[in-house]
Amino acid sequence: MYKMIVCDLDETLMNDDGSLSDKNAKAIQAATAKGVHFVVNSGRSYTSFQNDLETMHLRDQPNEYSISYNGGLVLENKNNKPLIINAMPFDVAKAVFEVGAADHNAATHVYTQNKLYIYNPTSDDSNYLKTRGVSYEVMDEPEFNQFKDQNIMKVIMALPTVDERKAMRDAVLNKVDASKLAVTFSSGRYVEFNPAGIDKGSASVQLGKLLDIKPEEIIAAGDNSNDLPMLKVVGLPVSVANGIDTVKAAAKYVTKANNNQDALAEVIDKFVLK
């Protein structure tokens, strides 16, 4: 019996327009009514999906949980109480940021524990964030020392092409020891940098230990490369139909439906409610 579902948001649970379907929401409610934990496991900040948790009937609920920042932060939904904080070392985060800020085509995001800052925001990226309910503060100058006394969860860059995102990854790894970073790609627009050893999979296992849930009792659903770490450590890794090839290859089940066709409801109906 599966006791927990960890699920990516964008391009997995959510429709392309950023909305949560009624069918997916009701399936999640049915799963939690059976005692199965449904855990949003997103690269985004927890602040951006509170309205979606409300629709799932999980907002501000005790003994229900969320994972943000690709594993950087694990919360209990009640009062958004931090349980596990996997912050980046300041010097590592600063070095990553400086590479991003030097590229005038990149929108460079700095996620602190509770807030997003963007240097050089671009219209395409800002419009995408708006559909996801993501708010941010613009950094007018590339001054990173303002974050010296804050928890920095991750640094990411939005770039329009795959080649540019790969070039950014290589530029960062040319400056920062690769052993200090976890690097992933997401949403067909971001290259993401977390501290080494921290990802959606490590956080899923950490939360499972807190709840006395074994990895083999967890379902993970995703679509992109930042979801691979959680697919690789759980009992039932799932790719939605629109998942990239490497995600499908890592999955034990690939949904018939894509993210715009209630794919998560398909998973819950098949593996939790049957």
Residue with tokens 């939904």: 77
Run of H or E including 175: helix 162-175
At residue 57, the pLDDT reads 98
Cα–Cα dist 258/12, whole Å: 8
Domain ranges for the chain, please list them: 4-86+198-272, 90-195
CB 184 within 8 A of CB 201: no
The yes or no reply on domain 4-86+198-272 and CATH 3.40.50.1000 is yes
Cα–Cα dist 81/3, whole Å: 21
Confidence category of residue 200, pLDDT binned at 50, 70, 90: very high
Query: What residues form DSSP beta bridges with 157?
Result: 108, 191
pLDDT digits (tens, 9 = 90+) for 14-55: 999 999 999 999 999 999 999 999 999 999 999 999 999 999
CATH, range 90-195: 3.30.1240.10
pLDDT digits (tens, 9 = 90+) for 62-120: 999 999 999 999 999 999 999 999 999 999 999 999 999 999 999 999 999 999 999 99
Radius of gyration of the chain (CA): 18
Cα–Cα dist 125/100, whole Å: 15
Whether residue 274 has pLDDT greater than 90:
no
Whether residue 213 has pLDDT greater than 90:
yes
Q: CB atoms < 10 A from the CB of 81, how many?
A: 11
Supply the DSSP string of 228-252, one letter for each residue: HHHHTTSSEEEE-TT--HHHHHH-S
Cα–Cα dist 46/68, whole Å: 6
pLDDT digits (tens, 9 = 90+) for 214-270: 999 999 999 999 999 999 999 999 999 999 999 999 999 999 999 999 999 999 999
pLDDT digits (tens, 9 = 90+) for 175-199: 999 999 999 999 999 999 999 999 9
Average pLDDT over residues 200-212: 97
**The model scores a pTM over 0.85:** yes
